[in-house]
Structure 1
Amino acid sequence: MAQPFTDEIVAAVRRHMNDDHAEDSLLICRTLGGRPDATAAAMTGMDGDGIDFTAVVDGRDVPVRVPFSRPLTERAEVRPEVVRMYREACAALGVPARS
């Protein structure tokens, strides 16, 4: 898919995720990203098909790609999709999700 999001949108989402939701990113990487051994994670980018992170695994930075459940084309679709990922990650780990 072509990139439906401008650089400014990606930067704003990345800043928000890294500043306000670093722990959520870690949960997503551990479960949906297949890196249960990750100790930290930061969002690095996204396109209409998924979101990219760098996870720290055994002291090394490892790229992690987590696909969206469907292609996204508008900024307003990003938040609900990331919330879905977060809730799915919490359920997989058996931890309560924030409301």
Structure 2
Amino acid sequence: MTHTFDEAAISGVLGHMNDDHRDDNLLIARAFGEPEAVSSTMTFFDGDGGDWQATLPGGDVRELRVAWPGGSITERREVRREIVALYDAACERLGLEPRPHD
């Protein structure tokens, strides 16, 4: 059964990703299914992966589900690790140098 995070965890992660990591959202969308995306917003996550909305040229919006690279998770602290891994994998797929992580 897929782990569901509480509303505070979901709100906190989505706020952080959509306020502070818009470019990362776009890289993830482009690398994992929507290469023509012009913007992307993280909309949800659970223990199996994250969901993004990718906006394409012309305004069409596509839903995108990306599984966590390390497999299913159950703790909030694991979310950051998996999003960082997605970002790194997105950079690799797109031939970009990832920035260092704290």
Q: TM-score, normalised by structure 2?
A: 0.91
1:61 lines up with 2:61 in the alignment = yes
SS in 2 for 1:90: helix
* 1:86 paired residue number: 87
What is the total number of aligned residue pairs between the two structures?
98
Find the aligned partners of 2:95 and 2:50 in 1 and give their Cα distance: 23
Partners of 1:4 and 1:74 within 8 A in 2: no
Task: Show the counterpart of 2:22.
Answer: 22
Q: 2:29–2:40: 8 Å Cα contact kept in structure 1?
A: yes
- Give the distance between the partners of 2:96 and 2:21, measured in 1 at CA: 16
* Cα RMSD for the two superposed structures: 1.0
Structure 1 residue 60, shift from structure 2 partner: 1.2
**Structure 1 gaps, min length 5:** none
Structure (1 or 2) with the greater strand fraction: 1
Q: TM-score, normalised by structure 1?
A: 0.93
- Partner SS state of residue 73, structure 1: coil
Q: How many angstroms apart in 2 are the aligned matches of 1:80 and 1:2?
A: 18
Identity of paired residues, percent? 43
Give the ranges of 4+ consecutive aligned residues of structure 1 lying more than 4 Å apart after TM superposition. none
The alpha-carbon deviation at position 57 of structure 1 amounts to 1.4
2:88 touches 2:98 (CA, 8 Å); kept in 1? yes
How many Å separate the matches in 2 of 1:43 and 1:3? Answer: 18
Maintained 8 Å contact 1:54/1:64: yes
